[in-house]
Structure 1
Amino acid sequence: MTTAWQSTTAKRLRRVRWVLTVLFTATTAICIGTLATIALVNDERSRAQALDIELDRQVAGLSRVVYYDGDGNLHLEPLDVDALVSRTTLLHVWVRDNGTWVSRYSREVDNAKSAEKQELALVEQVRDLQYAVLGDGVTPRGDRLRLAAAPVWNTTNQVAAYVVVAGDPAPGVAEHREYVMWTFWGCLAMLVLAAGAGHMLSYIGTRPAVRALEQEERFLAEAAHELRTPLATLRLIAEAGANDPARASASAAQVVGLVDRMAQLVTGLLARARVRNGTRQMEWLPLRLDQLVEEVVGEQLDDGRTVDVDLHPTIVEGDPVLLSQALRNLVDNAVKHGAQEDGRVRVEVKVAGGTVTVSDRGPGIDLADRDRVFDQWVTGSSTGTGIGLAIVRWVADLHRGSAKVVDSPLGGTTIELALPEVVA
């Protein structure tokens, strides 16, 4: 058994779905990445601003606590009882004595190390500007500090001392890194969900197109399958009539018969297509199954093929167009594949009790392949399309019947189409 024809619609639509999924995922990734970047930048900026606001509040409050008296003495005693002092990481009070900067008060918490060089540079800025200034510093061991310095005025309205506080940005940086990590994994999870949702949406969105294309391809393939043989026969008859004027009249009659048969085939094709896509309802009519078989067998031309029939009156209920197509495919399949070694074709058709049995004397079908031959696009020859028997089973299923390969009394292939019989 070989695969006769493989539809490419599913492959094409699968690629389209993946392209749509990738585009949807990429767009979502850009949006999520943009929002995440904005959120991370804002988080980092807000943490830095929060530290600056806290340091500015501390240095402003502490610079107002210390004071100079009328004798020019700097009083630092209030720092010992001020609550703000306990919240500082580092606190220095600098004064200038004979051109040298001297620390008059020092408080360092948790082994905090002073960034003295940066502190004094910041103090120089405050000395020039005469208002509080914020800046960065680095300790001798390389740790970052955020510094704030503010002036202290004496009784003569001159800046005489400078208060410097420092904050450690490391906790905020660590919290920001943790926030970055959670944001990354959260965005990744959302991206995976978006990819899954995009793939599902692309599948749902393209499913009608897949069905439409598959129906179109099925219709074209079935049309080629149904019309190939009568068209070839029509050509032979027309050529024979053209080459032999004496046979022209007989050839014309045969051509008319073939044209009628092709019209029936086209009608059957349209009926099947419309039933499949739901635009046509099946007709449920009481039918003489033996008469349908007799009509189908009568369409076979006398060209060395023999079709023996054994017909018993039997009534079934169903669609005459679809049943005729199924019966025609059964007989055509037996005639096509039932040639003996000497080239002769002999087929037996029996009808009894709602069952049609078609037997040939061909090579037969392996036991392992008896069910597979009814699959679409599977055929037993290099010239077949793998559609005929698939249609037979489809029609049988529609009529609540069955189609199967059974043991052949002729040594070839026997296919049985069983339909529910209507008791008269």
Structure 2
Amino acid sequence: MTPRTPALARLQRARWATTLLFAATTSLCLLILAVLAVRIDAQSRESELDNGVSRRADGLARTVYFDRGILHLDALREDDLALSSERLAVIQAPEPGRPQIRHTPVPRSALPHQADLDEIWQQVQHDQETVLVATESGGRETQWAAAPVWDDDQIAAAVLVGADPTQSQAAHDRLIHWLVLSCAALVAAASAIGHLLSGQAMRPALRGLDRQEQFLAEAAHELRTPLATLRLVVEGGSASPSRAPSALDEAVRLVDRMGRLVTGLLVRARVEAGTHEVEMTPLRLDQLVEQAVAELPNSTGVTAVTEAVVVCGDPDLLAQAVRNLIENALRHGGGTPVHVHVTDGRVVVRDHGPGVPAKDRERLFRRRVTGPGSTGTGTGLAIVKWVADLHGGTAHLAAAPGGGLQAELNLPRPARDEESVRHSLPREGAPCSRTRPTGTR
């Protein structure tokens, strides 16, 4: 897991900011849609209610009539519109006089007050067509439609049809309730999805940050020993003029080694970033191991037994992997002798130290994991594992016969003939190819 750094903290803050922006944008869009839906529903219900009472009032106004000044209401007793109306009344006003109720099948308390009847009558007289009026009685609102009834050339009566908007308003309130709950759920879901998407989008940046941290740790791991040795050599040469020539030769050798280390580090960083493909070339694994042993600052405790072996690989990366195996054995072997054996595409490094419990061996190949009691960065064996995977090989630890730990690096070998091996040259046209990493670190 990548440790929390200022760069990682900034990425995490950016992720949360993106999530909040996504949630705010979604909330605003849903709010606008919800407001539009509420207004459209309210207008639709109001229009439906008005149209309903207007049609009933117009229809019933055509069933009543005047004959020689007498209002006939018999048809209302059998008309389906009249029988199915919630509230119904017929009003008539003597000339001159206030309108009076001539017929109603509902209690008088369900009808408008006299003042409201006066206002309805005056409006019908003024507009001379069906009018809509909302009244309140007993704390409840009623929507009325009043249709005129003509006696020759004057309006002598009006049919009132009313409807209670309570049920429509209750359905409208339920719509608002479900809209609020649905929008809240959608905002929560959108926020969660936005957070996941922002995390997916930032994964390349996190991987790049992780690679950067790993590169710095590996660079420190690889360069720490040669830099310390170079310092000791330079200080020894400057303190004793007689040792200056040999110290200079040793310093040049160490600088060359650090140049190869830096090259290997850059190659590994570019390969893992996907900007570089490793050029696999046939090489002598035994000679590569012998050179790695010779470059050790203190190789007196290391013995190497090698056989001529040709493998396909990157020499800088394989040299790093071999050095890490040997240095790991020197560091954790308790000062015991280290034996290196190369045969048939396999590099075996053995120490005679306390070893590692079987349950911990695979774990040591992970990043930033060290052995018991170790204070190292935990990158050496992880690099070995990565190089092995890159070359299509394997790396593992095992208990050595007679005590100690045995580390093995196994590499696939190209098709070859024995004559090319005996002459220390890979066969021309050996099947090596470019490759990319087979796994992530």
Q: CA deviation at 1:410?
A: 6.3
Q: Which runs of 5+ in 1 are unaligned?
A: none
Q: 1:47 aligns with which of 42, 45, 48?
A: 45
Alpha-carbon distance, 1:40 to partner: 1.8
Q: Which amino acid aligns with 1:394?
A: W
The answer to whether the 8 A contact 2:328-2:380 is kept is yes
Q: Quote the residue 1:250 is aligned against.
A: 246
**Which of these residues, 189, 213, 223, is aligned with residue 217 of structure 1?**
213
2:212 counterpart letter in structure 1: E
**Equivalent of residue 89 in structure 2, options 77, 88, 92:** 92
| Residue 135 (str. 1) matches residue 133 (str. 2) | yes
- Matched to 1:221, the amino acid is A
Name 1:357's counterpart in structure 2: 348
**C-alpha contact (below 8 Å) 2:261/2:316 kept by paired residues:** no
Measure, in 2, the Cα distance between the counterparts of 1:258 and 1:104. 119
Conserved? CA contact 1:135–1:148, under 8 Å: yes
For the residue of structure 1 that corresponds to 2:323, the secondary structure is: helix
Superposed CA offset, 1:308-348 (max 9, x none) = 222222222222121111111111222222234xxxx5322
Moved more, 237-246 or 93-102: 93-102
Query: Where do residues 198-277 of structure 1 align in structure 2 (5 Å cutoff)?
Result: 198-277=194-273
SS at match of 1:164: strand
Q: Which of 160, 172, 175 matches 1:176?
A: 172
Q: Is 1:123 equivalent to 2:120 in the alignment?
A: no
* Aligned-partner Cα distance in 2 for 1:228–1:163: 103
Stretches of structure 2 lacking an aligned partner (at least 5 in a row): 418-441
Q: CA offsets, 1:269-322, max 9 Å, x none?
A: 11112222333222332222111110001011248x521222222222222121
Q: More deviation in 411-420 or 192-201? A: 192-201
Partner of 2:338: 347
Q: Distance in 2 between matches of 1:398 and 1:156?
A: 104
Aligned match of 1:281: 277
Could you tell me which residue of structure 2 aligns to residue 383 of structure 1? 375
Structure 2 CA distance for partners of 1:278 and 1:11, relative to 1, 3 Å: same
Q: CA RMSD in A?
A: 3.0
Q: Which of 1 and 2 has higher RCO (CA within 8 Å, sep 6+)?
A: 1
1:100 CA drift (Å): 6.8
- Find the aligned partners of 1:410 and 1:245 in 2 and give their Cα distance: 47
* Residue 319 (1) aligns with residue 319 (2): no
| Alpha-carbon distance, 1:388 to partner | 0.9
Alpha-carbon distance, 1:10 to partner: 6.8
- 1:379 is paired with a residue of what secondary structure? coil
State the distance in 2 between where 1:124 and 1:384 align: 99
Whole-angstrom CA distance in 1 between matches of 2:200 and 2:322: 37
Distance 1:266 1:60 in 2: 96
TM-score (norm 2): 0.82
**Distance of 2:397 and 2:67 partners within structure 1:** 117
Q: Deviations over 1:145-168 (max 9, x none)?
A: 2223345454573x5434321112
**Alpha-carbon separation, structure 1, partners of 2:302 and 2:56:** 109
The answer to whether the 8 A contact 1:69-1:155 is kept is no
Give the 5 Å matches for 1:11-26: 13=11, 16-26=14-24
Residue identity matched to 1:121: A
Residue 200 (structure 1) shift: 4.3
Aligned-partner SS, 1:107: coil
The size of the alignment, in residue pairs, is 409
Deviation for aligned residue 1:193: 5.0
Secondary structure at the aligned position of 1:378 is classed as coil
Describe the SS at the equivalent of 2:215: helix
Mapped partners of 2:55, 2:66: distance in 1? 21
Of 323, 329, 344, which aligns to 2:324? Answer: 329
Moved more, 362-371 or 76-85: 76-85
Residue 27 of structure 1: how far off its partner (Å) = 1.5
Q: Structure 1: which amino acid aligns with 2:340? A: V
How does the TM-score come out when normalised to structure 1?
0.84
> 2:71 maps to what in 1?
74
